[in-house]
Structures are given as C-alpha cells and as structure tokens.
Structure 1
Amino acid sequence: MLQVCALISEAGGTSANEDAAGHHGDWAWVIDGATGISGAAITGLSDAAWFSRQVDQALRRHAADSDGLSTDTVLRRVVEDVAQAFIGATEGRPRARHERPSAAFALLRRIDDRLEMTTLGDCGIIHRDRDGRAGVFGSSNIPVFEARTLQAARRALEATPDLTPSELWNQVVGQVRANRQSMNTTDGYWVLSTDTEALAHVDRQVVPLDNGPVALATDGFLRLIDLFGRATASDFLYLDDQARAETALRDLRRIEAADDPHHGHLRLKRSDDASLIVVRPA
C-alpha cells in the first residue's frame, strides 16, 4: 500500500479545475488536462476538465482490479474506457487532432519491494536516488512547443504592451493550435489522449523501495521549481503532511498574484491549476 501524506488539487482561477489527483492501494497519480482551444464542452465541463475526470475515474476502477496486470495493460484499458466515453459524450462527432482532449500524467505504483514511476507529458515525480539526491523524474518535448507560444506572446507584448489577457490569447491561439497539431506525432510531443499510441512513449523507471516520501505534481505546482525558482526538488519531499502542502500552495498563489504574467515571469495564465500528492510506502 501507499500511505497518502498530502493531497491537493486546486483550480488556478474561477473556471473548473482541469487537473485531477487520486490514489488506490498501491497506486497514486496526478493528471493535468490540456486546456481546450475549440471552446467545446462536454456535459457542462471543458474538454480538459471532462477528460481529466474520466481518466481519474478509470484509473480508480482499473487500479482496483490490477493484480497480475502490467501497468501498460492497465493504462491501455483506461484509455479504451475514456475513448469509448468520449464517443458517447460527443455522439461520435470526429475531431481534428488539435481539438481532441488530452492530458499529461504522472503515475506511481508499488510492486512488491520496488516503486515504478511512469510519466507522460510535463507532470513530474520527485524522489531521492540511491545516493539520497532529490530530483524530478519525467521528460517531455512539451516545453519546446510552449516556448514557441511564449515567443509569440513576447512579440505581441513588444508591439502592444498593454494587451489584456484575452487580447493576448487571441494573438497566440494560432500558435497554440499549431502546437496541438504536433500532439502524439513522431516529431511532436506525447500525451494521454483518446488513442493508445502514445502509451508506447511513456517515461518509466523502477527504483528500490525505501521509506522516504515520493511526490507527484502537475506543472502548475512545479512552477515553484521551474518557473519561479522558489523551491527545490528536496523541498517538495518535505511537503509530507497536509498542512505543509497547503502552505506551499498558498506561497505559490501569493507569488503568482504578485508577479506580472506579461512582464515578469511570462505566462498565459497568472495562476495555473495545481495538483500534488505525496505518499510513503506503508
């Protein structure tokens, strides 16, 4: 079993949370839905919020019945379930590649005396290696494409410094759409979507079991490390109770609120959805 020390999943603004975080038995995960660009909604939710919730629910179902199954088999069943739900929810209407819902995820599974770490996209798993050094496991090409969007935003702001958030979005949405065309392609980036092809491209590492904490986080929470430089990987491993995790989230929101997203640390969302789960082997 994995003992859950802290769990947070919070929307970054007033819209629905497009992240999810969960656990069951020997499994724990975080999911970061990619904000849709088509404006489509499913049962009152954005595509991304719907997709993250569907993946979370499917993981709970299949983790409960995973004895003797590989993680790849479980993930394949999750994607197949969600793909079928998507067909039903959209009445089978075909979608262009850039309109398909997608999500990054990080998944931790205890298997006997080992921990198996699996990521796809820009979520991360923070753990200590054999030498006790803390680091973030998981790699992705998503930052390459995000850099293109930020470069488009930078050019737009240089031309018109006082753009509102919605005006800036209108300036860069074409680049975002172009990026999404590269989703789950050989020269692009790989994320969870409604087909199983991307599952051949997960990052995976198996490490010996120890009693130390392991943290899984979406990129919104990882802003403390990657964007603002206000925390280290080691700091995340001290968020092993709910109170400390909530304090870290408050710190993140305070930093985001104080920092100008257009002329400070450039970003399209002042505050992003943020999810964190910290576990210990029980």
Structure 2
Amino acid sequence: MIEVMAASRPGGAAANEDFHLVGDGWALVLDGITRYPDDGCVHDVPWYVRLLGTAIAARIGEADLRTALAQAIDAVNSLHAGGCDLANPVSPGATVAIVRRVGDRVEWLVLGDCAIAMRDRDGGVAVESDGRLAGLAGTPAAVDVAGVWRWPVEYVASVRNREGGFWVASADPGAADRAFTGSWPRERVGEVLLCTDGLTRLVERYGREWPSLFESGVEGLIDLVRELETDDTRFLPQSKRHDDATAVRLRWG
C-alpha cells in the first residue's frame, strides 16, 4: 500500500505552470519553464506540461524511464509540430522528476531542477537532483524579459540542451538521455518526496534540511515557503518573489 499526499500552488495570479500525476506505484512532477517571447509556439506552458505529463504516464510501465520520457517528448512534438517552430531554441519545455516501483526496486529520474528526496526506514534521507543549471559558470546579468527578470534569451539559447550547459524536456527527445537515473531497494524505501524548484527553495535559499521536509504535510511545506518568501528582504523589486510550488509525497506501507 502507498499513501499519497500532493499539493500544487501557483506563485501568483497567472496559471500554474507546474503539473503532477500519481498512478499505481508511480508519480511525476513537471515544472514548466516560463516562456520567452517569440518562442515559436502557439501553445502556453500549462498546455505543454499537461500533455507531456500525460504522455509520460501512458508509457511509464512500458520502458525504462529515459525511453519513456523520450517517447513522451516525441509524442507531444507530433501534436504541435505543424503550427509551431520546434527548432526554436527556447521552445516550451519543463523540468522533470519521476519515481516508480518496479518489482523489488524503486526507480527514479530527474532532468532539470526538480528534486527527489527519499527517506529510508531508518530515517536517513538521500536526495537526487540535477545541478547543471545552478553550476553554470560565467552567467550574464539578468535583464527584464517581458516583465520577468531573467537571463537574456540569447544566452539561454546557447546553453539550454547544449553540451556544457543544462538539459530540460522540450522539443529534443535526445535530452532524455541526459537525465539522471537510479534506483533504491524497495525494502529500504519509507517515503519519497518529489518537488519542483518552487519548493526546493526551502533548502537552497532558506537553509532548511531535507529531513525536516518530511516532518510537515505537503500543504504545510508550501505555506512555509510562501511565508519565508514574503518576509525575505533580499528580493530585488523586479525579481519573482513567489514561484509555482508542487510536492508529491509517497509513503510506503
């Protein structure tokens, strides 16, 4: 038996660009990448993450996780290739975290800055994440791009899904091969927490320890990050104070 807790909340008045799904022994979270102007696509980010998440779910029991993700990306491409420029380097995309139980293993995949934390039956916590975005060197100063303070589009185009840069799920199915994957013995796993980066701020910006995130419910975690963001005096006026935040927690019986 698996107990499931899940919560997702937008960062403001705009539509939530996170997405999550839970099935029989598996779960996924996607964090849609805030779009750039002139990205060549007629669809919005919620459309993209919903279709990608559904496509992954349809394949999650049929192949290894990288293959399932690659096939899902290709399937979504086929739904909008006719009217959208999928060769655009900032075509809509998402970061990804997936877990699934297969026999006596619990498998995981992360691509981009989502994260997965596993608490074992002795209380120890292991964290799986993709640090390539945070580890970029020589990044330029942020600029105002359509009201959002972020890297210039020219720079993002030079490092997104490029060697030496960072990788996300977008129009290139080959990006799935760059995902980090692994597994844990089923008998070791007590709980698993999948998070978008709107929630991993608790650790990365506010200094909370990963084990403490298992001491609150998922709604409580989002309440906490919102409280800390509201009181945070380090944000610049043009910065995005609140991000979409999603957590899925699976507790094995």
Q: Kindly tell me the number of residue pairs found equivalent between the two proteins.
A: 252
Tell me the secondary structure at the aligned position of residue 113 of structure 2: coil
- 1:94-173 alignment to 2 at 5 Å? 94-97=86-89, 99-128=90-119, 132-145=123-136, 148=139, 152-153=141-142, 169=149, 172-173=150-151
Structure ID, larger Rg: 1
After superposition, the Cα gap between the structure-2 partners of 1:214 and 1:253, relative to the gap in structure 1 and judged at 3 Å, is same
Distance 2:57 2:5 in 1: 18
Distance 2:11 2:116 in 1: 21
Deviations 1:93-136 (A, max 9, x none): 35421x21111111101011111111111111101369743132
Give the partner amino acid of 2:47. Answer: W
Aligned CA-pair RMSD: 2.8
Distance 1:37 1:137 in 2: 28
Question: 1:261, 1:270 within 8 Å by CA — same for their partners in 2?
Answer: no
Deviation at 1:24, TM superposition (A): 1.3
Distance 2:14 2:245 in 1: 13
Give the partner amino acid of 2:80. Answer: F
Structure ranking higher in strand proportion: 2
Q: TM-score, normalised by structure 1?
A: 0.79
Instruction: Using the aligned pairs only, state the percent identity.
Output: 28
Distance 1:19 1:220 in 2: 9
Deviations 1:230-282 (A, max 9, x none): x211112234xxxx22122111111111213535xx98310001010000235
Give the partner amino acid of 2:252. Answer: P
Aligned counterpart for 1:83 among listed residues 77, 80, 90: 77
Q: TM-score, normalised by structure 2?
A: 0.87
Distance 1:39 1:272 in 2: 22
Correspondence for 1:159: none
**Structure 2 gap ranges (5+):** none
Tell me the secondary structure at the aligned position of residue 144 of structure 1: coil
Deviations 1:204-253 (A, max 9, x none): 11111135111000111000111111x211112234xxxx2212211111
Structure ranking higher in helix proportion: 1
Correspondence for 2:155: 178
Question: 2:120, 2:190 within 8 Å by CA — same for their partners in 1?
Answer: no
